[in-house]
Amino acid sequence: MRKFFQEIKADLKFKTAGPGQKLSEPSRVPKEKPRAEAAPKPRQGPTDEAQMAAAAALARMELKPKAKLPSSQEAIKNQVRKELMAEAAASEKGLSAEEKDLAPPEKEGAAALSVSGVYFICPLTGAVVRKDKKEKHLREAIQSYFSVDPVAASIMEIHTFNKDREKVRVGVETMAKYLDNIYLHPEEEKYRKIKLQNKVFQERISCLEGIHRFFQAIGFETKTLPTTEEYYVLKEEMLTKLEDLKDYKEQLLSSEPVRAQLDRQLCVFKPSPEAARFELPNDFYNLTAEEIKREQRLRTEAVEKASMLRTRAMREKEEQREMRKYNYTLVRVRFPDGYILQGTFYARESVSVLYNFVREALRDDWLPFELLGPGGLKLTDENLAFNECGLVPSALLTLAWDAAVMADIEASGEEQPGSPLKPEILSRVQTLS
């Protein structure tokens, strides 16, 4: 009996040997001799142990949290958030617009910019400067003008660098009264002294940039009188130049801020199928660091509202908000021969400016024409601004000649030039990339 149980135990051990363990064969099982060319054994199914292991593995996989694919709205939100965070980071680092545009593109094969930036012409030097360098250049130009005419230079500072126009108006009118009193009552010593700590002087005049240079330029000097208070006192020799004081007052009242003129950056391109493709630099967008944060919130709200029904008034309000985002627009005008004229404009300029721009480029500026917008819509109201017509931040327009006039020209039999554009403009023709 004991021998019988030992054989059963050995047989169970043979069947349940674990992986990596050597199977022991019971002595009672005779070894078979290898057969020549034995037929292949049929493939067996997985053992019970293998099936149990597979089930356990599947159970563990089920317990792991599954990755959730983002919905389309979530993807949009994430992309917008990523872009705006990158823009905000760039602004916080103090990168200038020029440095941002010159930075290598993030994506491989990024298209070249349609225009390198927005540029201005300084009225004092005639130099063409980038938008972000404009104010610095104006300051340097006005500073240099002090060696030529210190009175005019100080008046330029007052009107140009004080942005609150109402404060400038009040301050300038108050100074004009001071000068009037001196001119009308030169014998009165009290009018030739201005107390610097006077409340009116402090609130209306002293707060203006350039004001102290103006007083020095027109003949005032700072003095501490026996009362230990500081005054501006007119120099004695200026009493013989009262007419000059009158002229200075008139200049002060009539002057305007020095404004750099927007450079149109006129370009002409050969016919191209790429005419409708625009790649604009950051200069064209009216977004400061604070506005970028606000824009992030607005974009997020816009994504959430995308699936909501909106009234016409709501849509128009959003469209108006979109239009205010742009300071400038890049406009291309395609001529019937395929040539393309390009220029930069303020987004709030009227369409009449564009008509003049095109007319000045024509060989025969008397030829009547119309400009057609997207879909062939005629831009007949020249008083509308670009952003009111939806022509921001870029637009491709088509020029159409007056049919009756062109028919008369053809009937006359006169030989017409190859292109209606001026030769000096055609000489600068480029290939649109």
pLDDT bin (cut points 50, 70, 90) of residue 72 is: very low
Query: Which pLDDT does position 76 carry in this prediction?
Result: 39
pLDDT in tens, 182-207: 999 999 999 999 999 999 999 999 99
342 and 241 co-located in one domain: no
- Rounded Cα gap, residues 399 and 338, in angstroms: 10
Please indicate, yes or no, if residue 403 is contained in any of the structural domains: yes
Top pLDDT among 42 and 357 is at: 357
Please indicate, yes or no, if residue 132 is contained in any of the structural domains: yes
Fill in the amino acid letter for 156. M
Over 60: is that where the pLDDT of 387 sits? yes
Top pLDDT among 47 and 354 is at: 354
Please indicate, yes or no, if residue 37 is contained in any of the structural domains: no
151 and 246 co-located in one domain: yes
Helix/strand/coil (H/E/C) assignment for every residue in 197-214: CCHHHHHHHCCCCCHHHH
342 and 246 co-located in one domain: no
Over 60: is that where the pLDDT of 306 sits? no
Please indicate, yes or no, if residue 229 is contained in any of the structural domains: yes
Strand, helix or coil for residue 225:
coil
Please indicate, yes or no, if residue 405 is contained in any of the structural domains: yes
Total domain count, the chain: 2
- Rounded Cα gap, residues 16 and 110, in angstroms: 66
pLDDT in tens, 238-261: 999 999 999 999 999 999 999 999
Chain-wide mean pLDDT for the chain?
Answer: 77
Average pLDDT estimate for 311-328: 65
Query: Which pLDDT does position 35 carry in this prediction?
Result: 47
Over 60: is that where the pLDDT of 311 sits? yes
Average pLDDT estimate for 397-416: 88
pLDDT bin (cut points 50, 70, 90) of residue 302 is: low
- Beta-sheet pairing, 193-195 with 128-130: unpaired
Over 90: is that where the pLDDT of 14 sits? no
Please indicate, yes or no, if residue 307 is contained in any of the structural domains: no
Over 60: is that where the pLDDT of 424 sits? yes
246 and 125 co-located in one domain: yes
Query: Which pLDDT does position 314 carry in this prediction?
Result: 56
User: How many CB atoms lie under 10 A from the CB of residue 47?
Assistant: 9
What six digits make up the tokens of 77?
Answer: 């939100």
Residue 408 belongs to domain with CATH number = 3.10.20.90
Residue 150 belongs to domain with CATH number = 1.20.58.2190
Which residue from 244, 240, 206, 420 is spatially nearest to 334, judged by alpha carbons? 420
In this prediction, what percent of the chain has a pLDDT beyond 90?
A: 55
226 and 339 co-located in one domain: no
What six digits make up the tokens of 57?
Answer: 């593995």
249 and 348 co-located in one domain: no
337 and 232 co-located in one domain: no
In this prediction, what percent of the chain has a pLDDT beyond 70?
A: 65
> What domain range includes position 247?
120-254
Query: Which pLDDT does position 346 carry in this prediction?
Result: 94
Over 80: is that where the pLDDT of 112 sits? yes
- Beta-sheet pairing, 394-401 with 328-334: parallel
pLDDT bin (cut points 50, 70, 90) of residue 323 is: low
Q: What is the pTM of this model?
A: 0.65
On whether the CB atoms of residues 194 and 220 are closer than 8 A, the answer is: yes
- Rounded Cα gap, residues 97 and 90, in angstroms: 10
Q: Which residues of 332-342 are buried (b: 16+ CB within 10 A; e: fewer)?
A: bbbbeeebbbb
Please indicate, yes or no, if residue 354 is contained in any of the structural domains: yes
User: Which range among 22-36, 141-155, 272-286, 292-306 has the greatest average pLDDT?
Assistant: 141-155
Q: What are phi and psi of 130, to 5 degrees?
A: -70, 155
Q: End of a domain among 234, 254, 274?
A: 254
Top pLDDT among 95 and 299 is at: 299
Q: End of a domain among 200, 226, 254?
A: 254
Query: Which pLDDT does position 111 carry in this prediction?
Result: 62
Top pLDDT among 9 and 155 is at: 155
331 and 223 co-located in one domain: no
Q: End of a domain among 254, 275, 300?
A: 254
Please indicate, yes or no, if residue 136 is contained in any of the structural domains: yes
